[in-house]
Amino acid sequence: MRATRNAPNVEALKLLDTCVTLGRMSYGGPSLTAETVLSVMDKHDIAEALVHNNEARTVLPRSRGNRRLLEWIDGMERLHPVWVLNPPPTPDPRNAWAMVEEMLDAGVRVARLMMGVAPPLLWLWDDLCTALEAHRVPCLLDFAATQDYFGRSASTQSNPDDAAMDGLREICLAHPKLQMILSHVSGGLGVAYSTLPMMYRVPNLHLDITNIVDYWRRVVATMGPERVFFATGMPFYDPAIFVSNVQYARDLDVTAKRQICGDNMRRLMEGVR
């Protein structure tokens, strides 16, 4: 893409896609392998991507799909693994700590929390979030259903309602050093009304741009570019619209665009300990 006055060359943005699903989709729709996603990334000048395994989202135990993901992307430095997690059913904090330590030992620095399956209740998520917070692991919040009406794999798209957002508020406030990112939230009527008011009050809550072409601009304008993360939602969407959406944003300078497009996430990943 050619640069204009407010649109840098896309290569200069060093795009890091924070929402990419690998693996077979049970409904026979588009799917990505580790090899094919690199081809798509090259086509759209996406430098790096956070990837998770669709099997880990849809099939229990999630650990099987998480481990398989590591095999798929072994040696592919542009692809960063994301493990899909939900809280252990037993109320023993040691189980949550063991889960996070296993993830970190495997070299995984980002988690995807299945809040569309395990509802955002503080007492339910507290042990796992405590362990993630201690290690400063950035968390992508997945509110999507894992299956559609016919039992087929569903996309990562979701639209948590105001009640779900209220539960999430309690979790975020209880774990202020845990950076939480609303991933692929959208809907026919837009995001929940409470989303923007809540972000004013909860500084560790962020969102990505997937499927919200304009809403993220309001967040940047009022709270700054550090609250927004680039994402495409592949393979459910063509990345081109999201790349151009940031690249050609007239109200943002190059520094802000670079933050959104990758620097924000790289900073969080570097802070994992």
Q: What are 227-257's pLDDT values in tens digits?
A: 999 999 999 889 999 999 899 998 899 999 9
CATH code, 188:
3.20.20.140
Q: Model's pTM, two decimal places?
A: 0.94
Number of structural domains in the chain: 1
Q: Residue 178: is its pLDDT beyond 70?
A: yes
What percentage of residues in the chain have a pLDDT greater than 90? 80
Q: What is the pLDDT of residue 2?
A: 44
Query: Given this model, what pLDDT does residue 6 score?
Result: 62
- Reported in sequence order, the residue ranges of the chain that DSSP labels E, i.e. its strands, are 15-22, 46-53, 79-85, 110-114, 139-142, 180-182, 205-208, 228-229
- Fill in the DSSP letter of residue 7: B
Residues 212-235 have a mean pLDDT of: 93
User: Does 263 score more than 50 pLDDT?
Assistant: yes
Gap between the Cα atoms of 77 and 75, Å rounded: 6
- In this prediction, residue 28 carries a pLDDT of 60
Question: Peptide bond preceding 197: is omega within 30 degrees of 0, i.e. cis?
Answer: no
Q: Is the pLDDT of residue 78 over 50?
A: yes
Mean of pLDDT values over 145-173: 85
Residue 262 lies in domain: 13-270
Mean pLDDT on 172-189: 90
Q: Where are the beta strands (DSSP E) in 160-272?
A: 180-182, 205-208, 228-229
Closest CA to 232 of 6, 48, 2, 72: 48
In a domain, 87, yes or no: yes
Residue 8 counted as domain residue: no
**Gap between the Cα atoms of 66 and 76, Å rounded:** 16
What's the mean pLDDT when you consider all of the chain?
92
Residue 116 lies in a domain: yes
Residue 40 within any structural domain of the chain: yes
**4 is a domain residue:** no
pLDDT of residue 131: 98
- State yes or no: cis peptide before 225, omega within 30 of 0: no
For the segment 87-145, what is each residue's pLDDT rounded down to a tens digit? Answer: 999 989 999 999 999 999 999 999 999 999 999 999 999 999 999 999 999 999 999 98
